[in-house]
Amino acid sequence: MNAATPVTAARAQPLTTRRVLVGIALAVVGLGSVFEPVAFYIVILAVGAVSLYELARLCEIKGTPLEYQVAIPGVLAYILLSIFGLLSHWEGALLASVVLVAFWLGMYGEQQGYFARTAYTLLAVLYIGKLLTYFIFIRQVPLMGLYWTLYVIVLIALTDILAMLVGSFIGRTSLTKISPKKTVEGSLGALMLVTAIGALLGTTPYLGMHWWQGAALGAVTCLAAQAGDLVESALKRDAGVKDSGTVIQGHGGVLDRFDSYLFGGMAFYGMLHIIGLLPFA
């Protein structure tokens, strides 16, 4: 593989009109739902349900299916408990129930891969359900929840867009074999630009942060978003598929579109505590 391969691969899939229109529609629905909490929660539930279905498909292709009938109520329970402010009281019981029921149901299936099916089930509930709850926590912050949610979505979206654009124009060095189209130049370019944009947006009257707080949120969220993208790429490569699904025309599956958000939302919420914008519980 020569050094120019990542650039060639990145340009091999042009931005078709359909892909652009679908991307705009997703942005409108996603950002628009943030203004109405109930609509936002419905979007999160839908993303969780479809993402889990696609992850279950990847596990099945790999040869070790998870216990979907256990994982889906686990994911939805995570989201619903967080919506109603009950997760801190019931999370332990929820995880214990997922493990116990997965072990119990697993005894009635194929004995080969018994332990792996239970492990995959628990991992799926945490990967999809647990990580999505951080967006709910952010949205429910009094006074600032709306603005912070819009802020984190913009930071993550810009990470995806800028990494692709910078990599397409100046990318020469492959970032990792897991995802050959991604380049070191694209990753670093996105990090620098999102950090700067995070600092600028953070100082606006709606957010009212110090520049360094915005920069910290931009940098950490950008790194986490890229990590989330790479993790999902590793899952797809392990299963030997290009996309997690075909739900979104021109964009692959729901998990393909929201993989960076899973890690990005968690990192953003954690940084709000670290830089002093949210008190530690």
- SS3 track for 109-158: CCCCCHHHHHHHHHHHHHHHHHHHHHHHHHHCCCCCHHHHHHHHHHHHHH
Q: What's the whole-model pTM score?
A: 0.89
pLDDT digits (tens, 9 = 90+) for 177-189: 888 888 999 999 9
The encoded tokens of residue 222 equal 């950008």
Question: What are the structure tokens assigned to 135, written together?
Answer: 């967006």
Mean pLDDT of 52-68: 89
Kindly tell me if the per-residue pLDDT of 123 is higher than 70: yes
Are 114 and 102 in contact by the 8 Å Cβ rule? The answer is no
In this prediction, residues 96-119 reach a mean pLDDT of 83
Closest CA to 248 of 8, 82, 30: 30
Nearest Cα residue to 217 out of 152, 165, 154: 152
pLDDT in tens, 11-24: 334 445 665 566 66
pLDDT band at 238 (very low <50, low <70, confident <90, very high): confident
The torsion angles phi and psi of 275, rounded to 5 degrees, stand at: -90, 5
Q: Is 173 left (phi over 0), alpha (psi -120 to 50) or beta?
A: beta
